[in-house]
Amino acid sequence: MQKTQKKLNEVFILSEINKLLQENNNQISNEIMNYIESIVQNKGIELLINIIIHKLISKSTQITDLDQVIFEKIINVEQDNIIKKLYQYFPKNIKEYKASLTIDYEPLYNLLINEKYQEADQLTQKYLCELANINNKNPRKWLYFTDILLIPLYDLFIIDLLWQVYSNEKFGFSVQKKIWIKNKYDWDVFLEKINWSEQGTMKRYPQEFIWNINAPKGHLPLFNQLRGIQVISYLFEKIFW
């Protein structure tokens, strides 16, 4: 019910913004800016973030000048989150960022907002293999450490962003890296902390993993968890946000 209400709120906001744009001949007027400000003041920043993320990752939508304005408004309000890091480390123009993405991430977005984490995990692995140019000629479903170098940073960041935003910052590759660093780079402790192992024995896939939001922080996505630490070590080196 709560998710349905959020979606309805997003649709209403988009409808109101489009209505105001039409009334102002598609110009970003003070009236539109005031409306966006009122959303922020009424704790609607999460709705604006969701709108921008969806526009960014979906191949079926285009980024507009107003989207850029909303994005910059989010950056000014949100002081410490992954959206802010997008602005810090990547192109300031989100139209340019969108053009750099090689995959339509809307299927992953839909799985995550509906908390279908096992399916999202499987799709994430598929995306990473695709990004590393593993195709029908080389149909393996896992990564070697050398594959990590081939994954574009823009795409890796978006996958991480989706996992973080739609788990309330509980899941994601950069979340896992922070746990690893916090535990003094000790892989054994790290694997226990995120519940991939117990008393030195790796958990069995998929039955011993937790596929819901009650899983320990950093538990998902799994990422080659059955193939040792070399690949995830290279992934952590690649993540700088």
As a whole number, the mean pLDDT across the chain is 88
5-14, 46-55, 68-77, 79-88: range with lowest mean pLDDT: 5-14
Tell me, what's the pLDDT at 97? Answer: 94
Tell me, what's the pLDDT at 115? Answer: 97
Higher pLDDT, 79 or 44: 44
Alpha-carbon distance 24 to 17, whole Å? 11
Give the residue-averaged pLDDT of 16-43: 81
Type of residue at 24: N
For the question of whether the overall pTM of this predicted structure is more than 0.85, the answer is: yes
Alpha-carbon distance 84 to 96, whole Å? 16
Under the banding of pLDDT at 50, 70 and 90, the label for residue 3 is low
Tell me, what's the pLDDT at 5? Answer: 62
Alpha-carbon distance 172 to 72, whole Å? 24
